[in-house]
Amino acid sequence: MTVRSLGRSFSAVDALIRLAIVGLTLATAYIHSTLGGLLFTLNAVGYLTFAFAMVAPIASASRFRWLIRAGLVGYGAATIIGWALQGPFYSTAYIAKGIEVALIALVAIDFVRFDGNPINVVRRDLRDAMAWLRGRRTGLASA
């Protein structure tokens, strides 16, 4: 379901949630950028990319915002799991993990508010992609 199919518009609460998501994403990107090393720098760049993608006024970013949300949740979860396996366990790391847990929760809320059930969203887009592929294959065969 898209925002239009849910019959609701972008409210002040939605803007506040989106602003909080971007703020938390930038905060964890900043923390990772100050830690030094290629792994932390790349992690920061990944978070910066997701922060931009969450607010990008590009049509394809808006259409597939559900995929961006799912990617951000997975990225945050992978960061937390990587930290749990590798460390280091100091106060700044715990702050970053707290930010990432809050980020995952807010992105999940944003997903449900805009797209509804994630399984239905994936099914819909897979069905649309398959219909598009079938249409292209039929068009190529007749040409």
Within a domain: residue 98?
yes
Within a domain: residue 106?
yes
Within a domain: residue 127?
no
Within a domain: residue 141?
no
At residue 114, the pLDDT reads 83
Domain membership of residue 80 as a residue range: 6-116
Within a domain: residue 85?
yes
At residue 27, the pLDDT reads 97
At residue 3, the pLDDT reads 41
How many other CB atoms sit within 10 Å of the CB of residue 108? 14
Within a domain: residue 124?
no
Which residues have a Cβ under 8 Å from the Cβ of 73 and sit 6 or more positions away?
104, 107, 108, 111
Within a domain: residue 129?
no
pLDDT, one tens digit for every residue, the chain (143 residues):
344 445 567 789 989 999 999 999 999 999 999 998 999 999 999 999 999 999 988 887 777 888 899 999 999 999 999 999 988 888 999 999 999 999 999 999 998 888 877 788 788 878 888 888 888 766 555 44
- What is the identity of the amino acid at 124? R
- pTM: predicted TM-score of the whole model, two decimal places: 0.78
Within a domain: residue 59?
yes
